[in-house]
Amino acid sequence: MRRVAITGLGAISALGRNVTEFWHSLEQGCSGIAPMETVDRAKLRFQNGAEVKDYNSADYFEEKQGDYMDRFAQFAVITAREALHDSGIELD
């Protein structure tokens, strides 16, 4: 078995757009499930989902940079950046 060291945390989810918001929502027992807003629900069987609310890629990326990535890839980059910052590791 190999050991793993977690050096930093990052999160973006229906419960929060960073680790602090996410953890606070967990402590409060909040649910991230709500009526979906980013898709047309008219023909969907289920109306509720777990979406990242109030997400704007411009808050995290330069104008063109965010346009070249799918939303899920943006979330991966955002959480990786947050985890790296949280770890205190400085890259040269």
- What pTM was computed for the model? 0.84
pLDDT digits (tens, 9 = 90+) for 10-53: 999 999 999 999 999 999 999 999 999 988 999 899 999 999 99
Q: Domain coordinates of the chain in residue numbers?
A: 19-85
DSSP 20-57: HHHHHHHHHT---EEE--SS--TT-S--EEE--TT--G
Residue 10's pLDDT is 97
User: Is residue 82 within 8 Å of 20, Cβ to Cβ?
Assistant: no
Burial class for 84, CB neighbours closer than 10 Å (0-12, 13-18, 19+) = middle
CA dist 12 and 54 (Å) reads 11
